[in-house]
């Protein structure tokens, strides 16, 4: 189920989106076969729905975007990377709580 408040990024769209974003960006690196990713997905969707215009919430399917995944040394998923002004600010690996994710995003405002 596609969430209109979550932008799907890939190798060709990633850099332009991150560099042109006017708000902090959360990138969720995931894959459909990853059980922890499927647990985190609804949390990321909820954050996207509750923070429209405040943060840019994005997902990268690691199987579809090997270039971006390699660029950021994604070895374990889910991995969350936080960007501001086109620059990586923070990251976490594994399932994070909604409060932790929102707290890291809010710190970038």
Reference 34, options 74, 88, 6, 86; nearest CA is 74
Sheet containing 6-9: order of strands: 6-9, 56-61, 25-30, 79-84, 87-93
Assess whether 37 carries a catalytic annotation. yes
Contact 43, 94 (CB under 8 A): no
Q: Which of 9, 27, 34, 56 is catalytic?
A: 34
- Of 6, 27, 37, 62, the active-site residue reads 37
Nearest Cα neighbor of 62 from 78, 82, 46 is: 78
Q: Catalytic amino acids?
A: 34, 37
């Amino acid at each position: 189920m596609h969430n209109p408040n979550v932008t799907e990024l890939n190798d060709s769209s990633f850099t332009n989106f991150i560099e042109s974003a006017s708000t902090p960006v959360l990138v969720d690196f995931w894959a459909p076969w990853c059980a922890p990713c499927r647990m985190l997905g609804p949390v990321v969707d909820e954050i996207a729905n509750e923070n429209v215009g405040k943060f840019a919430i994005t997902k990268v399917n690691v199987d579809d975007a090997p270039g971006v995944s390699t660029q950021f040394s994604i070895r374990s998923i889910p991995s969350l990377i936080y960007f501001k002004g086109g620059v990586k600010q923070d990251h976490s690996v594994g399932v994070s709580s909604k409060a932790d994710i929102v707290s890291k995003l809010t710190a970038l405002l």
